[in-house]
Amino acid sequence: MNIKGVEMVTEQLTIEQRMMRITKPVLNIGLHISPNFNGRVMVYFENGHAICDRPLLDEEHVNTLDGFLELARMAGYKVEE
């Protein structure tokens, strides 16, 4: 890797805070999935620790209540609040 490549990797791993360059915090977690898994995983954290994880099925979607109501309205459903 050339010097420019090293600088780019260093830039990605550090942030500048108060005129000092510090290492970005990294969170390493283990997921309960098979080695050949392809897809999406929902992970729940408490205090920076992964408490549980669950692969999402292709037909499952994650949304907020407001987002779901907007989607229903766009699909032509009448939504009363």
Q: What is the SS3 string spanning 3-48? A: HHHHHHHHHHHEEEECCEEEECCCCCCCCCCCCCCCCEEEEEEECC
- Domain boundary assignment for the chain: 3-74
Lowest mean pLDDT among 5-19, 22-36, 40-54, 59-73: 5-19
Residue 7 has pLDDT above 50, yes or no: no
Q: Residue 1 — very low, low, confident or very high, per pLDDT cuts 50/70/90?
A: very low
What's the whole-model pTM score? Answer: 0.54
Q: Residue 72 — very low, low, confident or very high, per pLDDT cuts 50/70/90?
A: very high
